[in-house]
Amino acid sequence: MLITLIRTIILYIIVLVVMRLMGKREIGQLQPFELAISIMIADLASIPMTDVGIPITNGIIPILGLLVMHLLISLINIKSIKARELLCGRPTILIYRGKIDEEALKKERFTVNELEERLRGNNVFNIGDVEYAILETSGQVTVIQKPNKRTTIPEDFNIMPEYEGIPYDLVVDGKIMQENLQKIGKNEAWLRKAVSEFKTTPEKALIVTYDGKGQIFCQEKDEKERKK
């Protein structure tokens, strides 16, 4: 029982490291070759995890081999457009200038109902509002609405919003993020002074953020959580 547990932990760590090395894409955004490798890794890990009679290296070595394959294929994808098209395919336009392309639907084995479902997933509930719908190589559908149906933006009214920048977490769960403090050109003394205006300290804060306009958000931990 203990041996099985240890083997499971080892394989879990190996698979986790391999998946992290493969990149940050979500499962729904994986290319076909990435999805195939992910499925194979899961199968390879499950066999030595449950059968203690099989050497654990029988699972680790093939998993590492698949990682090498993934890195090689990714490199080929970067270097060669033709290889990229062969391995990943090409995007398909399902709706072109407001008209559904029936041939494209048949080619991709898509029904009109499936298309409507994907549009609803993009918060588009009327197919007549769509100018273009593109089936990406990852299986996601990108939707471009007709100009008169798109959400308005400040540029439409000749308005130039102020620059907002990216908010930085300065304190998370009572821990000071020193790296983020350095990025905004501040130090811990400044942070403590800023947080004191909220009548608290960094150690008592659940979250403290600093945005591009210099605004600070601070929320204290619950009293019960602080006592734990």
* pLDDT tens profile 73-131: 888 888 888 887 777 778 999 999 999 999 999 998 889 999 999 999 999 999 999 99
User: Is-contact 95 77, C-beta < 8 A?
Assistant: no
Q: Tell me the pLDDT tens digit for each residue of 50-59.
A: 777 788 888 8
Q: Is the pTM of this model over 0.95?
A: no
DSSP for 164-175 reads ----EEEEETTE
Residue 28 structure tokens: 């729904």
Helix/strand/coil for 96: strand
Share of residues in the chain with pLDDT > 70 (%): 90
Q: Distance between CA atoms of 171 and 180, rounded to whole angstroms?
A: 9
Domains of the chain: 2-86 (no CATH), 92-149 (3.30.240.20), 168-227 (3.30.240.20)
Q: Across residues 154-173, what is the average pLDDT? A: 85
Predicted confidence at residue 23, as pLDDT, reads 62
The residues, any chain, with a CB within 8 Å of residue 180's CB and separated by 6 or more, are: 168, 169, 170, 210
Range from 37-51, 98-112, 144-158, 172-186 carrying the lowest mean pLDDT: 37-51
